[in-house]
Structure formats: structure tokens, C-alpha cells
Amino acid sequence: MPKISQKSNNASQPQLKGKPVSASRSEMAEVVLPANTNPLGKLLGGHVMHLVDVAAAMAASRHSNSYVVTASVDYIDFRNQVGIGEIVVLKSQVNRVFNTSMEVGVKVFSENALTGERKHTTTAYLTFVALDSVTRAPKTAAPLIIKTAEEKRRWREAGERRKARLALRYRKNRSKD
């Protein structure tokens, strides 16, 4: 399959070298402890959201080699509960680079260390903006090199989601006037 490489469209910056999705794909894991559970001994949704933000920021920052800020979180779901003592595993990857912003997808799994059983518990999509380390203004992120059919599907779907999230953003801005 041919590689897709997005070109930077910021004429004032030198052409950035593209990076493959694999270069910034990230994984983190932690054991579910009592401080992060509800009275039923299940992992708090708010803690999952915190971990999702951290895992996603890791991929965005690695891709852009920059400080990044979360611009939006447009989808998150909770499919299965994660119990105390289980391991929560988060996998993140950059789905698409636009210009200064990047969509990152995060998948969360619960893993029972005693049985090895793994369940998909959460999917989330977040947008991060790369910031210049001196001015802290948005800066162009490196183009993303897409290699596999799966990466191409995520890249295409990220474009659809961007249309929806930016339409919502500008509709909200207009309603403030």
C-alpha cells in the first residue's frame, strides 16, 4: 500500500520531516488501587479520563517533539468496569496531524493478572495542539506517515471527526455573541 505523508501547510516554517505512527505509539499501565475506585471497588471514570489524557498527550508530544495542550475530547465511552487489583492498560497513537493540531486515539483495556484475561473497556479521541517552547503559541507538527490499511482508516475517520468538532466549536463561539 502506498504511504500517505501529509505536507506542512505553514509556509513560514521549514518543511518538517514526516514521522510514522509507530514512532510515537505509546502504552502505559497501572494497577487499580483503592484510592481510585468507587464504593463498589470499580475504577472511577474520572481517573480513567485522567489516564486517557496522559496517555494521549504522551503520543502527541512524542510525535511533535513539543509541549502539547489538550484542545478537546470529543468521544469517550466506558464499556466494561475495571475492578480493584486489575491492571489498566492504555494504548495511544496519533491518528492524524492537521496543522498545529493532532487527533490521538486511546484504547483502554483491563487485565486480570491472575487469569491473563484482557477486556477492551474504553475508547477515546482527543485533540492536542503543539506549542512552541519559547512563545507557547501553536506550532506546526511534523507530518504523519501512514503505512497500513488500519492507519489509513483511522486517518480518514479522524478527518470526519474534525469536521464535526470544529463545527461544534464555531457554533458555540457564535452563540456567545
Residues that bind ligand COA (CB under 6 A): 69-72, 98-101, 127, 129, 138, 165-166, 169
Smallest gap from residue 128 Cβ to ligand COA (A):
8
Collapsing DSSP to helix, strand or coil, 157 comes out as helix
Output the CA torsion 109→166→13→125 (10° steps).
0
Closer to ligand COA by Cβ: residue 72 or 81: 72
Smallest gap from residue 137 Cβ to ligand COA (A):
8
Residue 34 DSSP class: G
Smallest gap from residue 68 Cβ to ligand COA (A):
7
Closer to ligand COA by Cβ: residue 67 or 78: 67
From the list 67, 43, 36, the residue with the least C-alpha distance to 135 is 67
Would you list the DSSP string of 83-132?
Answer: BTTPEEEEEEEEEEE-SSEEEEEEEEEEE-TTT--EEEEEEEEEEEEEE-
Closer to ligand COA by Cβ: residue 115 or 172: 172
Smallest gap from residue 139 Cβ to ligand COA (A):
9
Half-sphere exposure of 173 (CA within 13 A, CB side): 6
Smallest gap from residue 129 Cβ to ligand COA (A):
4
**Identity of residue 19:** K
Closer to ligand COA by Cβ: residue 24 or 101: 101
CB 159 within 8 A of CB 168: no
